[in-house]
Amino acid sequence: MTNLKEKDAKYVAGTYARFPVEIKNGKGSILYDTDGKRYIDMGSGIGVTAFGIADDEWVSAVTSQLTRVQHTSNLYFTDPCAELAELLCEKTGMRKVFFGNSGAEANECAIKVARKWGEENLGADHYTIVTMKNSFHGRTVTTLAATGQDHYHEHFGPMTEGFVHGDIEDLDGVEKLIVEHKACAVMFECIQGEGGVIPLSADFVRGLDALAKKHGILLIVDEVQTGNGRTGELYAYMNYGITPDVVSTAKGLGGGLPIGACLLGERVCDTLKPGDHGSTYGGNPVCCAGAVSVISRLDEVFLASVKAKSRLVFHTLEGKEGIEGVTGAGLMIGIKTTRPAKDVVAECMAKGVLCLTAKDKVRLLPALNIPEDVLLEALGVILEAAKAQIPS
């Protein structure tokens, strides 16, 4: 045991089952540990470092803001915050943006908007939000309640009321919940990330959009993981041609700095009034400068390169020995392996490739600009690990 592992175990709250890797530094899609061992980073900090580690353009955007002013509070105007909001609205057609610091906080804003909008437009008893079973929306008490997985709720009750969970691909069931519970909104991930990289069908997503319109309620898309170019579109909902009322996002948005955003459409852009909501760090100029550097580079040409790399991943893995199936879109990939996912991930780690898991799958969320040769090298290691026999 090194000093770092001992110190971490002694002083850092034990909420994480960490892998035994001490990361020291990196560049792009390569990380090095404290012994100088090289790893290919196929997780990018859980879909956060969108342009990889210490990307030059991102570092320059962040550090030049850092040397001007690092924080002012929301009592004053700052340029990066307004610039990022403009960029997000122009690229999505949404109208206004609330900035927080995480995915959970982006979803908290979405939930508060939906509740206030419901009260004002449908009546005080219209506060329920229909979310999906097997979803993940965050770890605050209210976003846990939104999360449709019972095991996250254990020990932390009572949950915030006003959430019911429908089955994916069951539009009739969802409609029943909307009516019975006087819902104000439906909220979902286009691809359930933590739930095992499970894409919702286009019919179901378009059906949810139609149900929201039919019942005059809001459509909220949680793009915390799927957003910011991850699926090959700027936001995953754009793959389906729907127009959400609220889009929450975080993870890749800041390229490695903590920022979350709640994008508000026409119907809800003025629902929140001064004093209704806030966040001390929200819209922090350094985080926003990092996010501008990420979002401004996600143009059609770049997104096409993400889609091309996605095809390469599917083509390289599908049908190979030990690979039972590949799901996802863009560079958000779930791999069902014959061997237990955690064994494949452990073997990849020993061989210098860092992967994630999601439920029973190996999950890949590499940097969006991962070079093709590095990607192929990592896929080669994953294929070897997937077909290896369990040592007896």
Ligand X SMILES: *Cc1c(COP(=O)(O)O)cnc(C)c1O
Residue number with CB closer to ligand X (224 or 331): 224
Count the residues of the shown chain that bind ligand X, applying the rule CB under 6 A. 15
Q: How far is the CB of 144 from ligand X (least distance, A)?
A: 10
Q: How far is the CB of 316 from ligand X (least distance, A)?
A: 25
Q: What are phi and psi of 118, to 5 degrees?
A: -60, -45
Q: How far is the CB of 102 from ligand X (least distance, A)?
A: 4
Residue number with CB closer to ligand X (134 or 347): 134
- Beta bridge partners, 23, equal 33
Contact at 8 Å (CB) between 43 and 251? no
Residue number with CB closer to ligand X (175 or 194): 194
- Interface with ligand X includes 136 (CB under 6 A)? yes
Residue number with CB closer to ligand X (138 or 229): 138
Q: CB burial class (10 A; 0-12, 13-18, 19+) of residue 64?
A: exposed
CA angle 361, 381, 200 (to 5 degrees): 30
- Interface with ligand X includes 224 (CB under 6 A)? yes
**CA–CA distance, 315 with 148 (Å, rounded to integer):** 32
- Interface stretch with ligand X, choices 25-33, 134-142, 199-207, 233-241 (CB under 6 A): 134-142
**Helix/strand/coil (H/E/C) assignment for every residue in 196-207:** CCEECCHHHHHH
- Interface stretch with ligand X, choices 83-91, 115-123, 187-195, 350-358 (CB under 6 A): 187-195
Residue type, 139: R
- Sign of the alpha-carbon torsion through 101, 106, 111, 115: positive
Nearest-10 crossing angle of helices 79-92, 285-295: 30
Residue number with CB closer to ligand X (78 or 102): 102
Out of 100, 138, 244, 366, point to the residue binding ligand X (CB under 6 A).
138
Contact at 8 Å (CB) between 142 and 111? yes
Residue nearest to ligand X (CB): 103
**CA–CA distance, 66 with 63 (Å, rounded to integer):** 5
Residue number with CB closer to ligand X (184 or 224): 224
- Interface with ligand X includes 194 (CB under 6 A)? yes
Out of 104, 145, 178, 383, point to the residue binding ligand X (CB under 6 A).
104
**Helix/strand/coil (H/E/C) assignment for every residue in 49-80:** CCCCECCHHHHHHHHHHHHHCCCCCCCCCCHH
Out of 55, 108, 175, 222, point to the residue binding ligand X (CB under 6 A).
222
Going residue by residue from 235 to 254, which x/- string records binding to ligand X, judged by CB under 6 A? ---------------xx---
Give the binding site for ligand X (CB under 6 A).
102-104, 107, 136-138, 189, 193-194, 222, 224-225, 250-251
